[in-house]
Structure 1
Amino acid sequence: MSWVIVTSRPGDLDQVATPHKIITAKDYLVHPTLFNGQRPKVINLAGSTGYQSRGYYASLLASSRGHKVIPTVETMIDLSERKLYETALPELEVSLNKCRKELGGDFPARIVIFFGIAPSKPWERFAKLLFDWFRAPALEVSIKDADGWASIRKIAFKPLGRIDGEERTRFLACLDAYTSREWRDGKTRTPARFTFATLVNPQEDMPPSTVASLRYWARIAEKMGVEVEPITRKDLAKLANYDALFIRETTAISNHTYRFARRAEQEGMPVIDDSLSMIRCTNKVYLNELMSANKVPVPATMMIAGPQEFEQAADTLGFPLVLKIPDGSFSRGVKKANNPNELAQIAGKWLEDSDLLIAQEYVPTAYDWRVGVLGGRPLFAVQYMMAKKHWQIVNHERNGKPDQGGVRTFTLRDAPAHVVDTAVRAASCIGNGLYGVDLKETKDGVTVIEVNDNPNLDHGYEDSGEKDEVWVRLTQWFLDRLERTAR
């Protein structure tokens, strides 16, 4: 069972109007074992949301029973007094006034939003933002429009008993849209115990996993009682409906991926990539210091804060040397300087936007090792070959799409033990999630180039050595944490 709808009275919502289970708040409260062995998503439409009311207790006990519920008791408390939600008003009112500008003419004194779905296109941003702040089935916003500025008088729950006529028709349509699922791969063979959200960007040129690979994972996860569904950056408000989050678009502290990770953590959901791993892996300055402090071998490195370090970098590292901006990804923000003029030109330009750069010794190899580490254990091992006639695995300087080198796959048993062990040591400095450790191997030994929080994981490439065990272990990582929380 996926969805349960809680109402105040049996006749508040006609069972014919929705395919989902309808139950009264009283029955939900007095029958704690009714959904044993299941993890339903609960939509609480009880008319009473005040402290210690039946509606309040329905949401409170849903949480203790491991059921996902909207609204939560936190949302009920937040909306009980204006002073508790006034920190949300500035952002909401800016969005509200953009709606006002688009609509023109008379502005309504109230707007009702169901499940974050707008009644018309001009209201879309405001509706999503409101639901982002307050996840509730029905919210009524009272508006004061004066002197060319719309301000919010009050935000309140809209009781089901006061939703009728055309509003009820719209409510039922929004309920159906909200509870609909997008990514289904045939008939479920094992009843889903959990639903995992996978954050994707269909327009990304170099995603860490292709849609085909994620569909492949979905088929394996299905056999383990897990439903995998894609979400996009527009679905932050829906995140609490899922049990776990796997971020499969390129992460950055400055974009929505970090916000998704933080929201998942606030909801108590296991997440890859977690926000702390993003912070630690994104910045190469931090990574270098962390690896050095933990005696993990890295190339000779120095920091450049200004032109005064150019000569020292040349003397210490020699030429060619490698320059990096702190937060590049996929070989972006990494350039080779072959002489003092190139060093001054590249570093001088980058220092206009960054207070600190990294200079590293140049270690030429025909490939980079990439060892995937999950939960402190090696997951896969591959060699990424350098792009054709280039010194990196990805050449971004070609016209058109980036040029990537090939992939050579290994079983973990066949991969050199010292390479795998060094990768695990490096990843353990970051956390307990999923990491891709890049290493160079020469006659002088192994050095760690980077630890990535958002490593590539594609069917037919990174999983070629260990086969489906890669996807099984990925699924189990989430399940272990969910089951630990349930206990």
Structure 2
Amino acid sequence: MSDWVIIASALAGFDHAATTHKVLGTRDYLAQPEMFRGARPNIINLSRSYSYQSRGYYASLLAAARGQRVIPSVETIIDLSARKLYENAIPELEDVLNKCVSATDDDPAPVRLRVFFGTSGDARFERFCRLLFDWFRAPVLEVTIKHGATWLSIPRIALQSTTKLDAPDRERFFEAMARYTARHWKDAKARAPARYSFATLVDTNEALPPSSIDSLKHWSRIAARMGVAVEPIGRKDLPRLATFDALFIRETTSISNHTYRFARRAQQEGMPVIDDPVSMIRCTNKVYLNELMAANGIPVPATVMLIGAEDFTRAADQLGFPMVLKVPDSSFSRGVKKVGSMAELKALAGAWLTDSEVLIAQAYMPTTFDWRIGVLGGKPLFAVQYLMAKKHWQIVKHDTGGKPLEGGFKSFSLAQVPPLVLDTGLRAARSIGDGLYGVDLKETDDGVFVIEVNDNPNMEHGVEDAAEKDEVWIRLTNWFIERITI
């Protein structure tokens, strides 16, 4: 089998004669995770759309879950979804662009420059195209160039679908792809770390924050004894982020809001950050988590991916009723519903599929509590049992007509946790990364199953630290210090 696999939305319209590589439909790639089991092909994702929650987006997301290298990566897709996410790259790119060709040249730069795998076909822009590709690994990028009196500026950089290319550009694209795939895979060049920093991103108005202000004040007192000053910052403080040494995000994370921008900026500055953007991308999406756990042999509830109405019967046959339906990108039990019949499944899934092109259905596993194993740097940090909300099957009940209703908790020392629960939680967290995670597990007669891995788990004084005490906060502080001083 070829080392490279091309993913395209519509096989019928793809020019198969233009490449020697295997070409696979986006839907087939999503629906058949076993196709490349035991192999690690390099994936070029040429889906028609890369928009958030589209099939093209999921193709890149799940390629990473399956241990396959993919271009564009989901990080690149998100970075290029809004100018505010890539604006830090603009000054360097504009500087090189103007060194390649000036606004007053007799042969001016085009208004739009298309870049195929780091090349444009115009020798003048080769240095610029290589730099652009170093920042944003993508098959096709379109750069909008604005001509000023003496300066060329870049108002927009966007991923481009190959379906929008004319005949000459398609020829250049396939030539560039052939050259690129003839090389060994080269990862993006690491950028030198910037100055140190330290901050805690909070929203005092958030209803269910991962840490209360009082808990963060408790941590601040412990950190102060260790020579660390903790300062709260808000969403408007992104411009001064680089004045700190590290970033701890204590808002509910989402890759579609400012928390991701803060994490990405911190990473670009070379700062240690919890939650890092890769962990945010991985943990906020339940489709990715399910595939990643399965790929690593970590038990999860029986799961069926729903891409359309044609999958409803398969889910009913494999899971039975009731089953649990989940929106991939949700938190705090939102976007997670139990359905008790085919009629309920069709109604709810039909409504949710208008916002997300992929849903997951899982076997219903009733328990009176969920284990939460906190993991930091690959080691256990705390253990808690979260009890189900009163007369409800989840730990948080949202549809109360008022404030969400939460169940109680029981804290455990790490030594008290059943070994299988602890080991499964650690394996799940380590498959994500090296940061801070909260692994939710169900302990049943059939075994221990991972329900979710949270990238910004609750850390409340008197709850998560009730058993291990200040050691929880000391280890958190040391995690940052160790990485600041590397």
How far apart are residue 154 of structure 1 and its match?
A: 8.5
Q: State the 1:341 CA deviation.
A: 1.1
The question of whether the paired residues in 2 share the 8 Å contact of 1:194 and 1:225 is answered with no
2:432 partner SS:
coil
1:389 is aligned with what amino acid? K
- Checking the alignment, whether the CA contact within 8 Å between 1:195 and 1:226 is kept in structure 2 is no
Q: 2:302 aligns with which of 296, 300, 303?
A: 300
% identical equivalent positions:
64
**Paired residues for 1:267-282 under 5 Å:** 267-282=269-284
Distance in 1 separating the partners of 2:197 and 2:472:
19
Tell me if the contact between 1:195 and 1:244 (Cα under 8 Å) persists in the aligned partners.
yes
Query: How has the CA–CA distance of structure 1 residues 81 and 360 changed in structure 2, closer, same or farther, with 3 Å as cutoff?
Result: closer
Could you tell me which runs of 5 or more consecutive residues in structure 2 were left unpaired when the two chains were aligned: 1-88, 102-147, 153-194
454, 462, 465: which one aligns with 1:463: 465
CA–CA distance in 2 between the matches of 1:221 and 1:79? Answer: 41
SS at match of 2:414: coil
**Aligned with 2:267 (options 265, 268, 285):** 265
Residue identity matched to 1:268: G
Aligned residue for 2:354? 352
1:260-315 Cα distance to aligned partner (Å, 9 max, x none): 01100111100000000001111100100000010000000010111111111111
Tell me, in whole angstroms, the C-alpha distance in 2 between the residues paired with 1:153 and 1:229.
42
The Cα offsets for residues 152-197 of structure 1, whole Å up to 9 and x where unpaired, read as 9999xxxxxxxxxxxxxxxxxxxxxxxxxxxxxxxxxxxxx97620
Does the CA-based 8 Å contact 1:195-1:229 persist in structure 2?
Answer: no
Are residue 330 (structure 1) and residue 318 (structure 2) matched?
no
Q: Contact 1:321/1:361 (CA < 8 Å) preserved in 2?
A: yes
Indicate whether 1:426 and 2:392 are aligned. no
**TM-score, structure 1 normalization:** 0.61
CA distance in 2, matches of 1:415, 1:330: 24
Which residue of 411, 417, 420 maps to 2:419? 417
Counterparts of 2:268 and 2:358, CA distance in 1: 32
Determine the structure 2 residue equivalent to 1:287.
289
- Residue identity opposite 1:450 in structure 2: E
CA distance in 2 between counterparts of 1:235 and 1:153 reads 33
Question: Which is higher, the Rg of structure 1 or of structure 2?
Answer: 1
**Counterpart of 1:382?**
384
Structure 1: gaps of 5 or more residues: 1-73, 87-150, 156-192
From the superposition, tell whether residues 381 and 77 of structure 1 become closer, same or farther in structure 2 (CA, over 3 Å): closer
Q: Which amino acid aligns with 2:462?
A: G
Superposition deviation, residue 82 in structure 1: 9.5
Secondary structure at the counterpart of residue 198 of structure 2: strand
CA contact (8 A) 1:372 1:455 kept: yes
Equivalent residue pairs, number? 310
Hey, which bits of structure 1, 4+ residues long, moved more than 6 A?
74-82, 151-155
CA contact (8 A) 1:258 1:275 kept: yes
- Asked whether the equivalents of residues 207 and 249 of structure 1 are also in contact (C-alpha less than 8 Å), the reply is yes
The whole-number CA distance in structure 2 between the counterparts of 1:402 and 1:458 is 17
The answer to whether the 8 A contact 1:82-1:154 is kept is: no
Distance 1:153 1:330, change over 3 A: farther
Q: Distance in 2 between matches of 1:467 and 1:82?
A: 55
Residue of structure 2 in register with 1:406 after alignment = 408
The residue number in structure 1 matching 2:108 is: none
Alignment partner, residue 319 of structure 1: 321
- Name the structure 1 match of 2:477: 475
Over residues 61-107 of structure 1, what are the superposed CA-to-partner deviations in whole Å (9 max), with x where a residue is unaligned? xxxxxxxxxxxxx99978989948x9xxxxxxxxxxxxxxxxxxxxx
For the structure 1 residues 358 and 75, does the alpha-carbon distance in structure 2 shift closer, same or farther, using more than 3 Å as the test?
closer
Structure 1 residues 77 and 391 mapped into 2: Cα distance closer, same or farther (>3 Å)? closer
- Which deviations, in whole Å up to 9, do the C-alpha atoms of 1:319-371 show, x marking residues without a partner? 10000011010000000001111111111110111111100000000000000
Confirm or deny: 8 A CA contact 1:194 1:227 kept in the other structure.
no
Q: Which amino acid aligns with 1:483?
A: T
Aligned residue runs from structure 1 range 109-148, under 5 A: none
Shift of 1:250: 0.5
Contact 1:195/1:227 (8 A) holds in 2: no
Q: CA deviation at 1:248?
A: 0.3
1:483: how far off? 1.2
* 3-state DSSP of counterpart to 1:228: coil
Q: Is it true that 1:223 corresponds to 2:229 in the alignment? A: no
Taking a change above 3 Å as real, the CA distance of residues 265 and 276 of structure 1, as seen in their structure-2 partners, is: same
Q: CA RMSD in A?
A: 2.4
Q: Quick check: 2:436–2:456 contact (8 Å CA) kept in 1? A: yes
Aligned to 2:188: none
Is 2:365 the counterpart of 1:363? yes
- TM-score (normalizing by structure 2): 0.61
TM-aligned CA distance change 1:352 to 1:152, over 3 Å: farther
| Partner SS state of residue 231, structure 2 | strand
Q: Aligned pair in 2 of structure 1 residues 359, 81: CA closer, same or farther (>3 Å)? A: closer
Q: Deviations over 1:422-480 (max 9, x none)?
A: 00000011000000000000111100000010100010000101000000000000001
State how 1:31-110 maps to structure 2 within 5 Å: 83=98
Change (3 A) 1:75 1:395: closer
Partner of 1:341: 343
d(CA) in 1 for partners of 2:319 and 2:345?
Answer: 12
